[in-house]
A and B are shown apart, each in its own frame.
Chain A
Amino acid sequence: MSTTSALLTTEEPIRRTPVGLLVLLRGHPRVTAASVLVALLFLIALLAPFISPHDPLAVNADDSYLPPFAPGHWLGTDELGRDLLSRVLWGARVSLPVAFVAVGVGVVGGGIIGLASGYAGGFTDLLLMRVVDALLAFPGLILAIAIVAALGPGLRNAMIAIGIVAIPVYARLVRAVTLQLKQLEFVTATRSLGASPSRLILRHIIPNLLNPVIVQISLSAGFAILAEATLSFLGLGAQVPTPDWGQMINTGAAFLANDPWLAIIPGIAISITVYSFNFLGDSLRDALDPRLRG
């Protein structure tokens, strides 16, 4: 099996077209498995209103503190008798969009900084990279917490904060790849055909950046999920009563001694999600490794 996939990679290197993605999925079972996992998560988020057995916000004091596998409540209920399964499923509708908007902020912001820095070089590069270095000097979560503290708690500000934290990663990545690409003769060759700098960047450099950026997106999506949960846990993200994983752990922490599942179940949901994205990122990185490309 591994020989087959190795042969496939040398003869059919990865392309950035939809066809190329299909080839990628066929040739790399790990990528396929990871993609299925991630797709499943998105499906859950999308279908939560239809597949949830209960209203995630419906309070039912009679059924509070039911343990997992209780009749009618597979994962039990919380202190207000709300169905945990429903809340976990609905939680995906909070975490995934937040993570993706945040990563989007990082990709767009970091991409623009990285492209400007790598393509223009010189003083622009120096200036932008010092700003990025300054952002990198703070541990990611601390910086996110500081930004939310400054902007005020709430999901929207959490997205902005996590996005800003993600910017340096993309700025550095895009800059590095742009610098490499600039060395290649096709850049000068394209200019010699009369292509304007904007055409060169949009049509020639950006498509060449997609591979590493896609890998980084799946990796930082995991981080963004975790960061969102952390912020919500600290009360800086999703607010009560939004069914959010971090926020559920926060509430559940108070009952850890007697009813640990209140915190453990959303914790598992976070773990599975982060794992899925990291798995996707890792397998994509291996599959797209330039050393394996012909």
Chain B
Amino acid sequence: MAHLLELDDVHTQLTLKEGVVRAVDGVSFHVDPGETLGIVGESGSGKSMTALSIMRLLPRSGRITAGTIRFKGKDLTDLSEGEMEEIRGTEIAMIFQDPMTSLNPVYRVGWQVSEPLRIHRHISSSAAMTAAVGLLKKVGIPEAEKRVSQYPHVFSGGMRQRAMIAMGLSTSPSLLIADEPTTALDVTIQAQILELLGNLNRDSGTATILITHNLGVVAGMCERVIVMYAGRIVEEGRTEDVFAKPEHPYTWSLLRSIPRLDAEGHEPLHPIEGSPPDMTQLPTGCKFRPRCQFAIDRCAAEEPGMQPVGRQVARCWVTQGGASLDGPGDGG
């Protein structure tokens, strides 16, 4: 099956005052039609920059320096800005983390939700309003007829995120990039939004890239998962395989840091020691080495490549050498 989206060795640099940051460093992955791919990582790991690279909406300081981003056979990095505008909002839509500021405060929700239709399909205002009512209904907003003529400030966070999703889906794109869509929401609302995204993915066959730092979200939503660290993919595989037996110490630490509700007594929390690396001064060798409890000498000398380990692919000398990430790392 042809991939819907295929990134091959994409490098994105940010030129900042502090120096050049390789925010996305040789990232390759693919998304198939209709599937849901999770991208997990800490803040600053390059998840959002990967998404913005695909959309070609990088900040002014950012630039894709190498690699190809093939979408339906076209290399997005080769397209003109005008051609890219045609793809944004029709073929690829994106929803963002902060629903509070994602809607323009001066326009009625209906006007905004139907904006992609007005931009790309040039429909009349009345047709746009009718469409907006339908879209709001589709994303589960009650009293949609009334809601279309309200302003965003009347909407709650969850409602705004629903409206954002409605906006993204208005032109039935084949790919939806959701950048931390539930991070700013209450837990109960998170579940509703995720359920909505899941349903829409099933019903309309829209492929979804779900960017999150919440592993629980990935477990519930995604067939495949990519774990990113310091601008690189460190592990990639089917969600169940990665969760059952992580083959990169970073994934292992992430999974172990989730507090368990079924733990007996008071089990201590297991944070990942240290902090994410300074992206302007990355360590040599494996970028996770300073925080890794499994590190061996080779890790400092050279950076591992992505190699099949177990059922998935991981970037780690330890597991590639046949060692297992069970138990010992506790330090006792």
Residues on A lying within 8 angstroms of B by beta carbon are 13, 15-16, 121-122, 184-186, 188-196, 199, 204, 207-208, 210, 293-294
Contact = CB atoms under 8 A, between A and B. Distances in A.
Contact of B104 (A194, A204, A293): A204
Contact of B87 (A15, A16, A191, A194): A194
A16 B104 CA distance: 12
B302 interface: no
B119 A193 contact: yes
Given A185-B96, A185-B98, A192 B89 contact: yes
Most buried by A among B82, B85, B98: B85
Given A122-B60, A189-B164, A207-B104, 5 more contacts: A15-B151, A185-B97, A188-B57, A204-B104, A293-B153
Contacts of B151: 13, 15
A139 B120 CA distance: 49
Contacts of B96: 185, 188-189, 192
B88 A191 contact: yes
B116 interface: yes
Interface string B73-94: 0000000001001111110011
Nearest to B94: A192
Interface string B200-221: 0000000000000000000000
Interface string B39-56: 000000000000010010
A165 to B, nearest CB: 30
Contacts of B167: 189, 193
Contact of B153 (A13, A184, A210): A13
Which 9 A/B pairs are nearest by Cβ-Cβ distance?
A: A194-B89, A193-B89, A194-B88, A192-B94, A184-B101, A185-B102, A185-B101, A193-B116, A207-B106
B54 to A, nearest CB: 10
A48 to B, nearest CB: 37
A190 B153 contact: no
Nearest to B116: A193
Contacts of A189: 94-96, 102-103, 164, 167
Contacts of A195: 85, 89, 115, 119
Contacts of A208: 104-106
A186 B97 CA distance: 11
A199 B106 contact: no
A267 B95 CA distance: 59
Contacts of A121: 60
A108 B116 CA distance: 29
Given A121-B60, A208-B106, A192 B153 contact: no
B85 A196 contact: yes
B85 A194 contact: yes
Contacts of A204: 104
A190 B104 contact: yes
A188 B82 CA distance: 16
A188 B88 CA distance: 11
Interface in B106-158: 106-107, 115-116, 119-120, 151, 153
Most buried by B among A13, A193, A196: A193
Contacts of A199: 119
A22 to B, nearest CB: 15
Contacts of A186: 101-104
A180 to B, nearest CB: 11
A122 B60 CA distance: 9
A294 B153 contact: yes
A188 B116 CA distance: 14
Contacts of A188: 52, 57, 96
Nearest to A120: B60
Contacts of A185: 96-98, 101-102
B326 to A, nearest CB: 42
Contacts of B52: 188
Contacts of B95: 189
Contacts of A196: 82, 85
A293 B105 CA distance: 11
Contact of A16 (B57, B86, B94, B106): B106
